[in-house]
Structure 1
């Protein structure tokens, strides 16, 4: 029996990115999926596009209304999940790696037999403005205090997580907090499985170092509040993230080399 996948996509004034996301879903060779799109009341033509899309695509539903930010919109999406096997947060600009991604994912999941994982995750492809593509491998070593071991676009959560919500007190790092809480809900480490496949693509043209610096500050508090480590240890991880952020900005090839040799943390910084 095939898996049913459900996607939550949020957007705001990013019609071009939203089209990219939707096109990647419609191009799938695998048909057992649905998507809900949460638009924050865009002014760039997105509401009209969504109205037309919903009229012809029964797999896609949408709402367009004001919200209180990214994570409020994602919570709205979670509350609209239909019964499924796994769900994924694939936001505007994100896309599935290939037309056969869901077909491959379904096969990989069912290879586990009756012991279906609670969380499955895989690799991601970073795409830059100059056309360069870099495969960013997810880590098979889980160390929550170091950060996100996988990009959220490449993670699929079992339907049992449909009751979990993003904490709105975090403006940037609530996805990290969400994953920490999701992993803590596992009954056994084997319930989370790394799949050796590239699942998603991420558009790197919108990455902001200023925003990342604010995220590092939130990460510091998040680690302490979740009991992952002491304030002193959290400060060390924060300093490390700042260093990697600056290295990535000025010498991306060297950043990749150091990351591959010295860290099991694959957080986008």
Structure 2
């Protein structure tokens, strides 16, 4: 069955970014697609650039409208695809196969109304991976994914257009209002593990206080509840608190000094395990982590069952580290999710997640760099530097790591550590 995707870009006076955004669409390897561009009557040359692509567009216009959401509604009405994706001007797809992977990674595409994935937030100082939420029930309280990182079934989107009559009440949050109404009506959502779009954080919606206020208005449109009021108050308090020097002082004392200087002195793994879990680390059953391990952003680190991590390891989880079951991580391994843009005038940071599959074995002194996925049963030899994904059961070695052979697929062991005082 056809899974044609209609991509809609709305723009107004953004000659600086429109070409890059349009080229991002045309670079997509998913062939069953169409492009709709809605220009709000630009006067800076944006419309001239759009005209250059006119013969490759399914539909486009340049005329005054009532704002971004009115333009999106206009584009939705002209969509002929089975799915709709919104690509805002200035945003781009994370990879040339982002749309293809969204379709192919869906496990229930015939009955799903919304397929959504992850985003990468771009600021002057850093690029940060934004993991979409897995728990759909949390849509009751706030958005768990970025609207542009979703495919919405066209027939569903036509039922749930952007409610322009609410613009004065909820401003730039009309996209979450649309998502919330779909959620409340029983639409089916499915998350796929795909990085879909990059987006510029410095936009009209980059006002955390207004976002919290608008979210509260959206989530209470069907009635007030104490739980939602508490969520609203906690969100406001969290914003105020995180801006204070006292918060930073306490945070750094706990997650730097206590975690990496004091906790390694505790010889009981049971006590260390309890402390690590209290600090936000997700640790599976019968998993062991040695004393002399350095953590960065522990709340972004999770490890499954029957795994072990030996001494001297660097676990930089600023971009998120996910380790599966029965994984063995040898001494002095570095797992690094953070880095910098080489040519950035501001030395902007970049943070991308790392995933390590079940039964993987990381040899002594190897380094796993940001954005890498280590497949199930894979082996990284001692001293190797891994810069790209490792396929399941592959054995890789060298700098950069290359496949040298394949491991047996018949794996059923559990990593056990029974030495006291470690």
- Is the TM value for this pair above 0.5? yes
* Alpha-carbon distance in 1 for matches of 2:178, 2:130: 21
The aligned residue for residue 265 of structure 1 is: none
Displacement, 1:146?
A: 2.6
Query: Match for 1:148 among 131, 143, 147?
Result: 143
1:204 equivalent in alignment to 2:201: yes
* Per-residue Cα deviation, 1:187-210 (whole angstroms, up to 9, x for no partner): 5xxx3211011111112244665x
* Per-residue Cα deviation, 1:120-165 (whole angstroms, up to 9, x for no partner): 11111112224x3221100101212331100111111112212321
Q: Equivalences for 1:1-269 in 2 at 5 Å?
A: 1-54=1-54, 56-57=55-56, 59-82=57-80, 84-109=81-106, 111-112=107-108, 115-130=110-125, 132-142=126-136, 143-161=138-156, 162-168=158-164, 169=166, 170-186=170-186, 191-206=188-203, 209=206, 211-227=207-223, 229-230=225-226, 232-233=229-230, 235-240=232-237, 242-243=239-240, 246=243, 257=297, 260=300
* Alpha-carbon distance in 2 for matches of 1:134, 1:47: 32
* Inter-CA distance 246–163: structure 2 relative to 1 (3 Å threshold): farther
* Alpha-carbon distance in 2 for matches of 1:258, 1:236: 26
* Alpha-carbon distance in 2 for matches of 1:13, 1:259: 41
* Alpha-carbon distance in 2 for matches of 1:208, 1:157: 21
Assess if the C-alpha contact under 8 Å between 2:84 and 2:153 holds in 1: yes
* Inter-CA distance 237–87: structure 2 relative to 1 (3 Å threshold): farther
- RMSD after superposition: 2.9
* Per-residue Cα deviation, 1:49-92 (whole angstroms, up to 9, x for no partner): 122211x31x442111111122111111222222x221111111
SS of 2:61 mapped into structure 1: strand
Q: Which has the larger radius of gyration?
A: 2
Moved more, 24-33 or 229-238: 229-238
Assess if the C-alpha contact under 8 Å between 1:145 and 1:229 holds in 2: no
Assess if the C-alpha contact under 8 Å between 2:102 and 2:115 holds in 1: no
Assess if the C-alpha contact under 8 Å between 2:30 and 2:97 holds in 1: yes
The aligned residue for residue 266 of structure 1 is: none
Equivalenced residue count is 247
List alignment gaps of at least 5 residues for structure 2.
253-295, 302-422
* Alpha-carbon distance in 2 for matches of 1:76, 1:237: 37
SS of 1:20 mapped into structure 2: helix
* Alpha-carbon distance in 1 for matches of 2:65, 2:46: 15
* Alpha-carbon distance in 1 for matches of 2:15, 2:63: 15
Displacement, 1:246?
A: 4.8
* Alpha-carbon distance in 1 for matches of 2:194, 2:154: 22
* Alpha-carbon distance in 1 for matches of 2:197, 2:216: 27
List alignment gaps of at least 5 residues for structure 1.
262-269
Q: Which has the higher relative contact order, 1 or 2, with Cα contacts under 8 A spaced 6 or more apart?
A: 1
Assess if the C-alpha contact under 8 Å between 1:10 and 1:38 holds in 2: yes
TM-score in terms of structure 1 length: 0.80
Which protein has the bigger helix share?
A: 1
* Alpha-carbon distance in 2 for matches of 1:245, 1:41: 41
* Inter-CA distance 126–207: structure 2 relative to 1 (3 Å threshold): farther
